[in-house]
Every structure is written in C-alpha cells, then in structure tokens.
C-alpha cells in the first residue's frame, strides 16, 4: 500500500472563536513577559540572600522527605548519616574498582541469548550495545519528620544514564499492571476515603496502622524475586518472557553499583530507591506477604481482623477460582 501525501493545508485559527480568544490571551501574556524581561521579581534583600547562600559550601540543600520543605543540612551530619548507612554490611559492600564494563558484558550476554531465542527484538540488544553508562551516585533525603535536629536520611540512587536505567523501565512496564491487580492496591487518597466511608465500626474495634521499616533495603533478593515470580506466573505472559523478566530483575538487584564520597559501593540486599521498577517490586513483595498471611488460617488472631482490603480481595479471588 502506497503512502498518501499529507495535506499541507492548515485551517484558519480565527475561524474558531474559542481558539482565537485563547491565542490572543496567550500572546498577550507572552508580550508582557518580553516587556518585563530583565526585570527581577526578587527584592534586593532576596537577591543578596541567594548570592550569600551560594557561598555556603558546608551545607547541603535538600528537599524534605515529607512536607515539601527545603532543608539546610550541615555537611557533617549529612556525611555522618550517609556513612552510617553505607557501613551496614548486610546491605552494602565497598568495591575496589568500577565494574561497569564487566556488568555491561554480562547484560549483553543475557539480552543476546534472549534475542536468539526470539524473546526480544534485536533493537534492545543494539541499544545496550551503544550505551555508555555512567556510574550512578547516591544521595540522601532528610527525614525531618522523625528527627529535626539530626534527621535520618532516605538513600536514593540516581540511576539516570546508568547501565540498568533502560531495563528497569522495561521491567516496570511488566510489573506495574500486576501491582494494580493486588487486592490491597489503593489508587489514591480518595480511594482510601471511599473505603473508610463504607466501614462500620463499633466500640470493640481498634483501628491499626502498620509500616515496614526501611522496606527497600530490607527485602532479600531471593524473597523479592520469588514474590515477583508468583504474580508473573499467574499473568498472561508467556513463559520465555517471564523467565527473561526474572533474569533481568535479578541482574538489576545484584548489579546495583554507585559512587559516594569518591568510593564505589555495591548494594547486596534490597533494591535501590531511585530505580523505576523499585516501587512495583516492593509492592509485589508486600502483596505476596499479605497473601501468605490471609491464606493461612492457622495464624493466631487472624479471624479477629474485621476488615482489611487484602483480606476481602483474596477471598474474592479464591472463591472465583472455585467457580
């Protein structure tokens, strides 16, 4: 089939009154910006303060983990908190050299084999072949809601331009739909309020919340991969693709290297916060944890739970399977 030449005719914008008004309003605003170009919207004191802040080399300027505030974090406390976390031998180990070249060859071997088996297109192999990855860096976000004087830090590995950036996006493409299908999945605050609005409480009930401490760095690789495998095997994906996803996921988890304070580290437990697939991976791990609890009637006190989104969801799926 031959390609049809695209029309070069463009309708008059003034023929539609709404569009004509929109163009005039936007054009007017743009003209005002050009007229005021070079005129600062800051006062003299504000400009002086900004210039002075640029000379504060002993301070880290970071966004707060929660609340949207800007935190002035003394370098001494920042470095102390970072090294405290990096010295945790369960999660991190220091390397003597940059292994990115070796890691790239390993990744190419995995992708080439998948291409030869017909699982992925050659373009994916070519993209990684032409990639010149940089070594990701680690930085901390202050948790001032926990300690305002000496806040702990949330570790973030900036993986943009790194070896695993592309495959992290690919893995997340397949994992994210599985997260949405979790019985305990909550879309947003409005979704929570709707559930609570339908909840009937009496005086004998207790509202309980729970939180996992340092979830991302607490997930053991074998447990996280097993959880992802559980949900992938129940998806519509073909087995070769499931196998490749799990192989790439394991590669991401076991090849997370980064630099901090002129040293190179490798994460040996958990996943890096900053990787695009990390939230989906962590959510699936918690989904498997919930499933293991609510399918187990022998857990003491499980019958006393009146309402849990996951509880009702798993029961619904279980009953549907029987039908």
The count of structural domains within the chain is: 1
Q: To the nearest whole number, what is the mean pLDDT of the chain?
A: 86
pLDDT exceeding 70 applies to what percent of the chain?
90
Give the per-residue pLDDT at 39.
67
Domain that holds residue 186: 63-198+207-315
Runs of H (alpha helix) within 234-307: 239-254, 278-294
Sign, CA torsion 225/231/233/235: negative
The answer to whether residue 48 sits within a structural domain is no
The answer to whether residue 245 sits within a structural domain is yes
Binned at pLDDT 50, 70 and 90, residue 37 comes out as: low
Give the per-residue pLDDT at 297.
73
Strand ranges inside the chain, DSSP E? 59-63, 70-74, 92-95, 137-142, 153-158, 257-260, 263-267
Give the per-residue pLDDT at 3.
40
How confident is the model over 224-253, as a mean pLDDT? Answer: 95
Give the per-residue pLDDT at 142.
95
The answer to whether residue 236 sits within a structural domain is yes
How confident is the model over 87-92, as a mean pLDDT? Answer: 94
Token pair, residue 52, equals 């002075």
The answer to whether residue 40 sits within a structural domain is no
Out of 5-19, 97-111, 221-235, 283-297, least confident range: 5-19
The answer to whether residue 259 sits within a structural domain is yes
Q: Give 74's strand partners.
A: 59
- pLDDT one-digit tens code per residue, 185-229: 888 888 878 877 877 788 888 888 888 888 898 899 999 999 999
Token pair, residue 202, equals 């009496």
The answer to whether residue 36 sits within a structural domain is no
The answer to whether residue 20 sits within a structural domain is no
- pLDDT one-digit tens code per residue, 105-128: 999 999 999 999 999 999 999 999
CB 125 within 8 A of CB 107: no
Give the per-residue pLDDT at 310.
52
Task: Report the distance separating Cα 157 and Cα 300, nearest Å.
Answer: 40
How confident is the model over 62-79, as a mean pLDDT? Answer: 92
CB 140 within 8 A of CB 62: yes
Token pair, residue 79, equals 């470095």
- pLDDT one-digit tens code per residue, 299-315: 777 777 777 765 544 44
How confident is the model over 16-34, as a mean pLDDT? Answer: 82
Task: Report the distance separating Cα 91 and Cα 87, nearest Å.
Answer: 8
The answer to whether residue 29 sits within a structural domain is no
- Contacts (Cβ under 8 Å, ≥6 apart) of 86: 92, 94, 138, 260, 265
């Amino acid at each position: 089939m031959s390609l049809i030449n695209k029309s070069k005719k463009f309708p008059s914008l003034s023929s539609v009154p709404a569009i004509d008004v929109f163009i005039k309003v936007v054009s007017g605003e743009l003209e005002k910006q050009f007229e005021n170009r070079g005129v600062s919207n800051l006062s003299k004191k504000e400009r002086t303060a900004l210039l002075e802040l640029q000379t504060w080399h002993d301070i880290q300027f970071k966004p707060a983990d929660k609340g949207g505030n800007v935190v002035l974090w003394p370098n001494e406390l920042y470095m102390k908190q970072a090294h405290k976390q990096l010295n945790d031998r369960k999660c991190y180990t220091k390397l003597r050299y940059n292994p990115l070249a070796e890691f790239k060859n390993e990744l190419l071997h995995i992708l080439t084999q998948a291409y030869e088996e017909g699982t992925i297109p050659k373009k994916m192999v070519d993209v990684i072949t032409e990639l010149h990855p940089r070594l990701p860096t680690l930085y901390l976000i202050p948790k001032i809601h926990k300690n305002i004087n000496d806040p702990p830090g949330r570790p973030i590995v900036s993986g943009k331009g790194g070896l695993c950036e592309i495959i992290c996006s690919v893995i997340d493409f397949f994992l994210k739909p599985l997260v949405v299908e979790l019985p305990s999945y909550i879309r947003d605050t409005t979704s929570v309020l709707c559930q609570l609005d339908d909840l009937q409480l009496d005086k004998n009930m207790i509202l309980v919340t729970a939180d996992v401490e340092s979830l991302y760095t607490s997930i053991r690789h074998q447990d996280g991969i097993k959880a992802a495998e559980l949900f992938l095997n129940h998806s519509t994906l073909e087995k070769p693709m499931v196998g490749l996803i799990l192989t790439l996921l394991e590669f991401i988890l076991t090849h997370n290297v980064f630099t901090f304070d002129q040293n190179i580290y490798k994460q040996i437990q958990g996943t890096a916060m900053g990787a695009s697939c990390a939230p989906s991976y962590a959510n699936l791990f918690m989904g498997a944890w919930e499933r293991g609890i609510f399918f187990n009637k022998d857990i003491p006190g499980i019958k006393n739970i009146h309402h849990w989104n996951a509880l009702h969801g798993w029961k619904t799926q279980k009953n549907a399977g029987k039908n």
